[in-house]
Homo-oligomer: A and B are copies of this chain.
Amino acid sequence: MSQLRWDPLTQNWVIITSSQGRRPGDFILEREQVSMKSCPFCYGQEERTTDELFAVRPDGSQPNSSGWQVRVIPNKYPVLGIEGNLDKRGVGIYDVMNGIGAHEIVVENPDHQRTLAELAPDEIRNVLKAYRARLLDLRRDSRFQTVMVFKNHGLEAGAAIPHSHSQIIALPVLPPRQTAELKTCREYFDRKERCLLCDLLRQELDMKSGVVRDDGNFVVFAPFASRYPFELRITPRRHLHDFALQSDQELLQLAEILKNTLQRLSAVLRDPPYNLVLQTAPPMHERLGRPALWNSLPYDYHWYLEIIPRLTKTAGFERGTGFTMNPTAPEEAAGFLRDADLAAAI
């Protein structure tokens, strides 16, 4: 079973995934690309995966058979296991708990070749509906403090299996970035009675230079203090803390602007590897010792999708400082993306 260990120095939890325990030789092999006989995410391979948790099946087909358009399954090699309890304990100066959580795969479409950018808007909406359904279900488990939805596109971005898919991980602790963002938003709201993320969006709309697209409902922009080149944020114009509260109609608008954004990236950067992460409010159920952080949550937070193309390497400086270095000013990146020829997307 994997473990979470607390580092008293960095004040962060670390996930030791010893269930995937790797010996030195595994790392040497890992530098070569994995080959696969047949893809477990294609039609006809449903039996090879664990039982599905959610699917869109317009043809009324049976679970775990072909016919689906989107399919969510437990990860066969989860970094956190769903069974058991946390068993929090101390090890001298350190803290440990069992690696309890959930780790799921969203297979975005049956076609092995089609990327998320190539799907039709209503097909992308099905993917977004799968995110919403799994968020709502996993949040009911009071062991979990947050549910992360993310996607790795391309080998350099961490996608080991090429068939287009996203991942969902439910965690028994709030990660450092979410802890920091929620705390910052809370303090901002306490002082100003305004949402920090609304104010950031207003600032970007005023400056215009970073805005890639604004359809009146959702805005895509390259944030003024982007950590990475061509980093983008997609966020609703109206204040809403939780992605899971978006309606079907809104998810279609989001699917359209997401497709358009991914096509622009593909046209300008020739189908770059990228990570996509959904940043949304954590579950609202009460939590030992820290309810205060959540009390004003509907006012504090404002969900967004972030897209980070993997264009630069991180090295000793980034590892050692927590800083990133961004060689492309976001206003320049936004300019290239605004001018993109969508027909050039690959």
Contact = CB atoms under 8 A, between A and B. Distances in A.
Which label, helix, strand, loop or mixed, suits the secondary structure of the A interface? Answer: mixed
A194 B325 CA distance: 35
B150 A184 contact: no
Interface in A215-271: 223-227, 229, 268-270
A325 to B, nearest CB: 5
Interface in A332-346: 332, 336
Interface stretch (A4-12, A34-42, A133-141, A284-292): A4-12
Interface string A168-190: 01010001111011001100100
A72 to B, nearest CB: 17
A37 to B, nearest CB: 23
B316 A150 contact: yes
A93 B227 CA distance: 17
A276 B315 CA distance: 9
Contact of A27 (B31, B177, B229, B332): B229
A124 interface: no
A315 B152 contact: yes
Interface stretch (A44-52, A61-69, A105-113, A306-314): A306-314
A220 to B, nearest CB: 17
A11 B269 CA distance: 29
A106 B226 CA distance: 30
A151 interface: yes
Contact of A5 (B3, B8, B159, B225): B225
Nearest to A306: B320
A42 to B, nearest CB: 22
A175 B323 contact: yes
Given A225-B94, A311-B30, A196 B12 contact: no
Interface stretch (A17-25, A81-89, A115-123): A17-25
A316 B158 contact: yes
A6 B5 CA distance: 31
A268 to B, nearest CB: 5
A320 B207 contact: no
Contact of A327 (B12, B13, B21): B21
B91 A22 contact: no
Nearest to A185: B9
B180 A10 contact: yes
A142 interface: no
B15 A323 contact: yes
A167 interface: yes
Interface string A147-162: 0101110001111000
A167 B91 contact: no
Contact of A326 (B16, B93, B270): B16
Given A21-B332, A24-B268, A229-B22, A323 B151 contact: no
A27 B272 contact: yes
Interface of A: 3, 5-18, 20-24, 27-28, 30-31, 79, 91-94, 148, 150-152, 156-159, 167, 169, 171, 175-178, 180-181, 184-185, 188, 196-197, 199-200, 203, 206-207, 223-227, 229, 268-270, 272, 275-277, 279, 306, 308-309, 311-317, 319-330, 332, 336
Given A9-B200, A176-B322, 5 more contacts: A9-B185, A16-B330, A23-B328, A23-B332, A279-B320
